[in-house]
Structures are given as C-alpha cells and as structure tokens.
Amino acid sequence: MKQLFVRIVCSMLALLFALNCAGMGYRVEPDPGRSPGSVNVMDPEAVHVQYLGTSGFLIYRGGHGLLTAPLYSNPHIFKVGFGRITPDTVRINRLYPDQQDVKIEAILVGHAHYDHLLDVPYVALRHVPEAVIYGNASVARIVSAADSSLIGRMKVLEKQLSREGRPGSWFYLADSTIRFMAIESDHGPHALGIHVMQGEVRTGFKRLPRSAWAWREGMTIAYLIDFLGPDGQTDFRIHYQDATSHYPLGAPPSLAPPEIHRLDLAIVAVGSWFQLPDYPGKLLRNHQPRNIILAHWEGFFRSPLKAPKPIPYSARLRSFIPYIEENLPEDADWLLPRPGAVYTFLPAR
C-alpha cells in the first residue's frame, strides 16, 4: 500500500510539473556541434564525444570507443507512472548512430533506472554485439532477463570500485588505448527531496520488467575514462556521472604518479541538481576540468524525434548555467549538447 501511494504521488507530481512548467526555464539553445558524417574518425589525437540523449554518449578515438547507456525509447509519462514500458526498437534502429568505423567494446551503465537501462539490452544485441556491459548487480539481473546470451557479456563492478578516494581497478579495452575505472557514487533526490526507485533488484526476471518502478537503481557508479597515448600514459581524461551525487561520492580518486592527470572533460548530470548542496560545484572547484558537458538536461518523457526541451521543473537552467559559470576554472568551457551532435576535444599540450 505504501509503495502504491508513493507511485501515485510521484506520478501526479511529475504530471503537474510537465503540464505547468513545460514552458518555463532558461531559453538557451543546445550547442549544435557537428554531424557524425563530418568527423575524421581516424584522427589519432582527437577524442570525439557524440551525445545520444539523456545520459548516453558514444566516446571514441582512432576507431576504438565505448558507450555510456543510451536511451531512445522515452516512454510517455503515463506509461512510466501507471502502464507498461518496453524498448521502442524501431526508434532505436532509426536513431542509433551508424559508426561502422568505430569498434565499441564496452557499455558503461551508472545505475539501473529505466531511463538509463531500458534500451541497453537491445543496443547490445543488435548494434554492438562485441561490447561488454559494465554496471552494478541490479543492472546484471535486469539485462540477463532480456536475453540469456547477455549473461556472459556482463561485468559486475561492486567489488572493484574506487571507494573513499582510494583507486579501484582499471579495465582496459582490447587495444589498450582506452581504460576506465568505476567509482562508488550515489543518486540524489528527484523532486521535493523524494528519491524514487531506490534499492536493489535482488531476484532475476524472466523478461525485462514492464513497470518502470521495478527498475531499481542499485549502487550508483561514476566512471573515470582515460585515453592513452603512445607511451601508455593518460593524455585525455574524462569523468562521467549519469546522476547527481553527494560529493565526494562519485568524485575521482587520488592517484599517484605517473597517473596524475587533470580532468580534460567532466560530464555532469543536470536533472534535479538543486536538490543537493553545491552540486556539482565541489567537483568543478576541486578537480578543475578543462571542459564541462551538461548532460541529462532534456525531457525524457518527450520523443527524441522532436526538438529537445529542458526537463520540466528539474533542469532549472536559468539558475544552473550561472552557477556553473561561477564555479568553472578560469580556463574552462561548458556546453549544453544537442542530441545526435558530435563534439571533438584535443589533449592539452
């Protein structure tokens, strides 16, 4: 009964915000970036970051790359609150980027909420059949329900995380030019201090859960992603979070020489940022990234085939962008990415 009450209250709040706040917010246009077809995939130095929407990114250099969990299905708010959700495979096939020259070897999943994980099993089966899926135990239990062949392609990370500032394990892609480390994080409240869909998925499913409320998040994980130079040392470092967090949870660990390297890019989640104290200001001030991408900013109850709009109520870009600018390092830039666009970064010299 309590769970049903929480579902009804949260669904009604979300609907209220969607109806009354859709026209509100900071009227800023997302950065247009470049089209995928204009990118020189084989540039040996450039790191390309394509925004797939919500918190999904295709990140690659020199023909090798990885994904962070993409979402294209964007089920309607009524289905999320009261109905059934399923991957929209037609939409996924239409929107997933055609990057035949890039070998994708990993899909990094931060937590198991449906808006991060719903499309991952289908993408893994249809579009990146060689990629290993990395995430928490809840992610593994849900993904395994989609297709038994994915069980052998899951890597559960809880035992190899960076915790309390101490380094965790590095995972290297096959050609050893990209590596990443998983970092213990947490997930901030969604609205009015309410944090929904908490907890672990403790039992397996026979199929993907149809109720959005069954996609419990599990442990939230952030990632440190390194692109390595010819000498095997880091020449471009990315910090990625798909949810807000209570600093220092989710922050990069302390590393010893020769692994010390300034963050070249921080990818931060926008939605409900104001529910936490000084997010992501502490991260920006303490870790001094050269570039910042503001992700998870657009409404994910809205079809990605339409022009993106900020998440009703929880983006608050009118306040967030000045806050980001106040906390930026002096030599840093920020951008609000357009879904589908590619952004190219070069190592600092």
User: What digits encode the pLDDT tens for the residues 51-95?
Assistant: 999 999 999 998 899 999 999 999 999 899 889 999 999 999 999
CA distances (Å), 167 to each of 108, 119, 157, 158, 251, in order? 18, 30, 13, 13, 11
Q: Are 107 and 167 contacting, i.e. CB atoms less than 8 angstroms apart? A: no
Q: Between residues 4 and 244, which one has the greater pLDDT?
A: 244
Instruction: Give the list of residues 6+ apart from residue 90 with CB closer than 8 angstroms, or none.
Output: none
Q: Between residues 313 and 172, which one has the greater pLDDT?
A: 172
- Looking at residue 178, what is its pLDDT? 97
Q: Is the pLDDT of residue 4 over 60?
A: no
The Cα 266–Cα 223 span in angstroms is: 10
Q: What's the 3-state SS for the chain?
A: CHHHHHHHHHHHHHHHHHHHHCCCCCCCCCECCECHHHCCCCCCCCEEEEEEECCEEEEEECCEEEEECCCCCCCCHHHHHHCCCCCCHHHHHHHCCCCCCCEEEEEECCCCCHHHHCCHHHHHHHCCCCCEEEECHHHHHHHHHHCHHHHHHEEECHHHCEECCECCCEEECCCCCEEEEEEECCCCCCECCECCCCCCCCCCCCCCCCCHHHCCCCCCEEEEEEEECCCCCEEEEEEECCCCCCCCCCCCCCCCCCCCCCCCEEEEECCCHHHCCCCCHHHHHHHCCCEEEEECCECCCCCCCCCCCECCCCCCHHHHHHHHHHHCCCCCEEECECCCCEEEECCCC
- Looking at residue 8, what is its pLDDT? 46
The residue extents of the domains of the chain are: 40-336
Q: Is the pLDDT of residue 278 over 60?
A: yes
- Looking at residue 313, what is its pLDDT? 80
- Looking at residue 27, what is its pLDDT? 64
Q: Between residues 292 and 203, which one has the greater pLDDT?
A: 292
Homologous superfamily (CATH) for 40-336: Ribonuclease Z/Hydroxyacylglutathione hydrolase-like (3.60.15.10)
- Looking at residue 257, what is its pLDDT? 93
- Looking at residue 13, what is its pLDDT? 45
Q: Are 22 and 309 contacting, i.e. CB atoms less than 8 angstroms apart? A: yes
For residue 258, cis peptide bond before it (omega within 30 degrees of 0): yes
Q: Is the pLDDT of residue 194 over 70?
A: yes
User: What digits encode the pLDDT tens for the residues 14-60?
Assistant: 444 443 333 344 467 899 999 988 888 888 899 999 999 999 999 99
Mean pLDDT confidence for 325-346: 96
pLDDT band with cut points at 50, 70 and 90 for residue 225: very high
The Cα 332–Cα 239 span in angstroms is: 15
Q: Are 241 and 268 contacting, i.e. CB atoms less than 8 angstroms apart? A: yes
pLDDT band with cut points at 50, 70 and 90 for residue 192: confident
- Looking at residue 23, what is its pLDDT? 37
Q: Between residues 323 and 81, which one has the greater pLDDT?
A: 323
The pLDDT > 70 percentage for the chain reads 92
For 77, half-sphere exposure in the C-beta direction (CA atoms, 13 angstrom radius) is 17
- Looking at residue 97, what is its pLDDT? 93
Tokens of 228: 């390595």
User: What digits encode the pLDDT tens for the residues 95-120?
Assistant: 999 877 899 999 999 999 999 999 99
User: What digits encode the pLDDT tens for the residues 133-191?
Assistant: 999 999 999 999 999 899 999 999 999 999 999 999 999 997 889 999 999 999 999 88
pLDDT band with cut points at 50, 70 and 90 for residue 3: low
